[in-house]
Structure 1
Amino acid sequence: MPTDLSPHYSQDFFANAQAAMDDWHYEMRREIQEIVPGLYLGPFSACRHQIEKLKKNGITHIICFVDQNESRLFQFDAISQYFGFKKFIVSDSNLQNLIPYFPDTSRFIHNVITQQGKVVVCCNGGMSRSPTFAIAYIMERYNIDASQAYHFVQAKRLCINPNDGFKSQLKEYEPIYKARQFSGFNEEEEGLMKRRRGSGPDDDGNGNTANGRQSSGETKRFYGLEEQQQNGVNANMSVGYSSTLL
């Protein structure tokens, strides 16, 4: 995937992105928002019940992230009939490893956009799984770090709130995609890095886990969550306004 920055999206553009809280209202969490031209983010319900609106806005593809139960309960027939459709089975769990999915999904998004298409990335609520993939794409496409990409996506969809495990994985993904882009990283080496995540590592007490992962405390500090929780804000609120403090 090309890493050169578009002239319309410089490093300063991403660094200065700010969430416009005055322009955000609660109902917007049920809608989709454009992150960068061609890439949209939102909940599955907006895709399922607003097909005509999506078609009118030029949407051509939808990527949906669901767990096993959602996959059985959700109805995808109408979506797959009108849009290019991809479905990934992933759970919204701290233990769910998303890193192996990042390269393929980012490549898919990039191919859609370069072919003048528009793609919606969605999950059940559009707040944890799908934002994580949107952030990973922004990181890799525009060569910016996880924190910068996170806050940029949040400025477009204020209610995002990926779980701590996903935030940690975004941080871990930085050296993986950079090594692949700039050092001729081969698939075997990349596979080893993907598999280094253990299913239940122990924290060594210094913010690092046995396999090199950041602990939950360090991840919260990286994204500004520790201060938020100390101030009595529940980081798992579904309302979304808590994310403005990240």
Structure 2
Amino acid sequence: MDADAAISRIMEGVYISGAKGATDHPFVLSKEIKIILTFWDKQPPLVTLPFYHDVDVFTFKPKLPLANKGSIVKYADIVHDKIIHATKVQRGSVLMCCEHGNNYSAAFAIAFIMKLKNWHFEEAKKFVKDRRRVVRLSHVMKESLMQYEQILFPPPPEVAVKEIISQKTEKLDDSDSN
């Protein structure tokens, strides 16, 4: 089976695949998939999702990598809530997919793990990558996840104040040298 079609279990009730994996009807039925989350920066590839009874399909268009590094921040909480709803309320599973299952869906899985387990980016990335070896995050996705990490784990106020003072001092030093 090629990597795009492979479906990886990230944790109980949460799976990632490429676009082809979402068309695996026996898998979707056997794992009681309640929600399929798809992530496309342009038109979805020419894969038609079969009609699934009692499965909701949500499509996110993060507009990456060119336009918006903040897409993880914009959609992460929505994705988190949909996964929690499917796994806890509906007692089912979630399948996240993007074109190849190695960038967008992996990034949102990492963001989900960061929030769920209260983990920093590197720890969550390792967790997901250990379960889906084909993860290859783009530079923009990494930056977006690090931005999300700053939201989840803001620096203590005294550190933030020191950083602001340091930045202002650097700007003053730069202007003095000109």
- Shift in Å, 1:87: 0.9
Q: Which has the higher contact order (CA 8 A, sep 6+)?
A: 2
User: Corresponding residue for 1:88?
Assistant: 60
Equivalent residue letter for 2:56: G
- Measure, in 1, the Cα distance between the counterparts of 2:41 and 2:4: 20
Is the contact made by 1:94 and 1:166 (CA closer than 8 Å) also made in structure 2?
no
Counterparts in 2 of 1:172-191, with a 5 A limit?
Answer: 172-178=147-153
Structure 2 match to 1:75: 48
Matched to 1:86, the amino acid is: F
Q: Distance in 1 between matches of 2:112 and 2:2?
A: 26
User: Cα–Cα, structure 1 residues 159 and 86, in superposed 2: closer, same or farther, change >3 Å?
Assistant: same
Q: 2:77 aligns with which of 103, 114, 121?
A: 103
Task: Using the TM superposition, give the Cα deviation of residue 44 of structure 1 relative to its aligned residue in structure 2, in angstroms.
Answer: 1.3
Residue 25 of structure 2 is aligned to residue 51 of structure 1: yes
How many residues matched? 151
Deviation at 1:29, TM superposition (A): 4.5
Return 110-119 or 132-141, whichever deviates more. Answer: 110-119
Question: Aligned ranges for residues 84-163 of structure 1 at < 5 Å?
Answer: 84-96=56-68, 97-98=70-71, 99-115=73-89, 116-163=91-138
Offset, 1:34: 0.7
| Consecutive aligned runs of 4 or more in structure 1 exceeding 4 Å deviation | 79-82
1:55: how far off? 0.4
Q: Give the TM-score of the pair, scaled to structure 2.
A: 0.76
Structure 1 residues 63 and 83: alpha-carbon distance in aligned structure 2, compared to 1, 3 A threshold: same
**CA–CA distance in structure 2, aligned partners of residues 67 and 81 of structure 1:** 27
Larger radius of gyration: 2
Give the letter for the 1:163 counterpart: S
Q: Which runs of 5+ in 2 are unaligned?
A: 155-178
Query: How large is the Cα RMSD of the aligned pairs?
Result: 2.0
Whole-Å separation in 2 of the counterparts to 1:94 and 1:151: 25
SS in 2 for 1:60: strand
Which secondary structure does the structure 2 equivalent of 1:125 belong to?
A: coil
Q: Which amino acid counterpart does residue 48 of structure 2 have in structure 1?
A: Q
1:60 aligned partner: 34
Cα deviation, residue 74, structure 1 = 4.2
